[in-house]
Structure 1
Amino acid sequence: MTTAWTAADIPDQRGRIAVVTGANSGLGRETATQLARHGAHVVLAVRNTDAGHAVAREIGGDVEVRAVDLASLESVRAFAAGLDALDLLINNAGVVLLGPRRTTADGFEMQLGTNLLGHFALTGRLLGKLAAGRQPRVVNLSSITHRNAHLDFDDLMSEHDFRASPAYGRSKLATTLFGVELDRRLRAAGSPIVSTLAHPGLTRTNLTPRAWEHRPRFGALIARIGLLATQPVEQGALPQLRAATDPTLSGGEFFGPSGLGETRGRVTGARFSRDAKDPAIAERLWAEAEKLTGVSYL
């Protein structure tokens, strides 16, 4: 029987610079913690720098805090311009909305704008610096919700038909398509950068309470019920940690939990939806993302 992959399997990360978006809580915090424990210089790329500094003090090690708001293309541009070098980019940050439709600073639907377009722009602006890095890699965070989603290119921003949960699933399908297409383009270009993907299954983070911030008591109840169906964040972060650090990966690998429906359990290869592997959908989404963000690459 194959031994379960754990944080103890993370190889020595000394000499590597890692950027983790959304690193002040949940999966991002655990990912940053483990990378720092294994010797990496970790950049906590966060919107709330006060919270980021508090987390940095708790993590210890070689950690710094830098401000970035993935819901603002200008903030993404400024963050990327201020970074001198990096070896690993983990596009971890995510937004879940269960209330009314909201938009980013650039007018994008909040979930698609943050989960996909902010990370698309960030990755594109950092690609040259990544290519000069040591064993460079990009990890994009998917979700099991991507499997039931389908993109509507006639209403990509959900202006005419907004339902929060389906819109979240579409944002995660888009993120998954981005990671797969990035891998294809990197290979075609002969780039040294590796693109991998991961999803955490059902993991206890603060995304659920935040999603129900318009109904806090109900959100607290949902979170309590979720304790029965979810796994701790230390386990949920393992798929993206493996995607980020396993030295045997060549690109395109996708990790998630091994349990029923990939909701919890040991790290294993994850399953893509049919749409997530459709090159025609990926190419069309890529063209839209370049047009919307003004960032072109590969």
Structure 2
Amino acid sequence: MRNDKWDAGRIARQDGRIALISGANSGIGFDTAVVLAGKGAEVVLAVRDIGKGEEACKAIRKDFPDAALQVMLLDLADLSSVRRFAYAFLARYSRLDLLINNAGVMVPPQRCVTVDGFELQFGTNHLGHFALTLLLSGLLKQTPSSRVVTVSSGAHYFGKLDFSDLNWQRRPYRKWQAYGDSKLANLYFTRQLQRRLAEDHASTIAVAAHPGWSGTNLQRYEPLAMLMNRFFAQTSAMGALPELYAATARDVAGAEYFGPGGIGGLRGYPVRCSSSRLSEDQGVGQRLWEVSEVLTGVFWQ
């Protein structure tokens, strides 16, 4: 990566490429969609609310009237929805250049579960994207130089998976710990996915990114965080730059991790960044992969 400031102006034209972004109707997902659509990619906005997805498309077309946009229904907290989405996508598209696992939920006020009974943050942020990626992996591997970008967080540093209680049924629920666990799982997933892609001699790579402290509605359950956003957060457009770099820059390698380069990784232009020592434990990553296959019923092929 060059030492000077990297922004969206550096991104090459993306004509002919298909980009799928989960949670693309708001926040950094929306800003990522705006940039990629403006560069000529066909962008699929995978969203829980079709109406909000359509509103996002209207907003994008104000700047790029000829943007190629599609809205498709995807609820990552419902594995049947993930399967329906994947089958519909495979029926419609013959390539997938960029899969950006961007959507997420952060610190709900109390323990909630997905449709399938998983703790909401782990089930949505990790298991939903795990299943989605594996269901689309064949198409990804068929598409030359495709990429999977999974959005993690600096919160992974206080994550530590308890395999005896991944769903927080036995322990007092700690919402920030659960969020950190889900973001740690995103990094384990990225590295394990890259290992399998390499073993299959695929040109696809798996990388991760985090947005630093960016002002989005992800913090809607934390009034104090929403207040502090006014003073400390960078814009969601800046927060989108690390995942855009991971998705498009030429010098990106598999299993790399990108985030803002400012103090504490909270804000600034994208750089390669490090992650916790725990996130590099291949044994834990392998175990999580195997458990995730069983929990989702979706297996690597």
TM-score scaled by structure 1?
Answer: 0.95
1:135 counterpart letter in structure 2: S
The answer to whether the Cα contact below 8 Å between 2:144 and 2:204 also exists between their aligned partners in 1 is no
In structure 2, distance between residues paired with 1:58 and 1:205: 17
The answer to whether the Cα contact below 8 Å between 2:144 and 2:203 also exists between their aligned partners in 1 is no
What residue ranges of structure 2 are gaps of 5+ in the alignment? 62-66
Q: How far is the alpha carbon of 1:279 from its aligned partner?
A: 0.3
Give aligned-pair identity as a percent: 44
In structure 2, distance between residues paired with 1:250 and 1:191: 13
2:188 counterpart letter in structure 1: L
Q: How far is the alpha carbon of 1:43 from its aligned partner?
A: 0.1
TM-score scaled by structure 2?
Answer: 0.94
Q: How far is the alpha carbon of 1:91 from its aligned partner?
A: 0.1
In structure 2, distance between residues paired with 1:262 and 1:128: 34
Structure 1 residues 148-227: aligned runs within 5 Å: 148-161=158-171, 162-209=173-220, 211-212=221-222, 219=223, 222-227=225-230
Q: Which position in structure 1 is the counterpart of 2:138?
A: 128
In structure 1, distance between residues paired with 2:186 and 2:74: 19
Q: Which position in structure 1 is the counterpart of 2:30?
A: 29
The answer to whether the Cα contact below 8 Å between 1:16 and 1:134 also exists between their aligned partners in 2 is no
* Segment of structure 1 superposing worse, 79-88 or 277-286: 79-88
Partner secondary structure for residue 136 of structure 2:
helix
State yes or no: 1:96 paired with 2:106. Answer: yes
Q: CA RMSD in A?
A: 1.2
Which of the numbers 66, 84, 89 marks the counterpart of 2:72? Answer: 66
In structure 1, distance between residues paired with 2:163 and 2:70: 39
In structure 1, distance between residues paired with 2:6 and 2:81: 36
Q: How far is the alpha carbon of 1:12 from its aligned partner?
A: 1.0
Q: How far is the alpha carbon of 1:65 from its aligned partner?
A: 0.3
In structure 1, distance between residues paired with 2:182 and 2:101: 13
Structure 1 residues 252-271: aligned runs within 5 Å: 252-271=255-274
Instruction: Count residues in correspondence.
Output: 290
Q: How far is the alpha carbon of 1:271 from its aligned partner?
A: 1.2
Q: How far is the alpha carbon of 1:254 from its aligned partner?
A: 0.7
Q: How far is the alpha carbon of 1:135 from its aligned partner?
A: 2.0
Structure 1 residues 33-44: aligned runs within 5 Å: 33-44=34-45
Give a deviation string over 1:166-204, Cα, whole Å, max 9, x none.
100001001111011111111122112110110001100
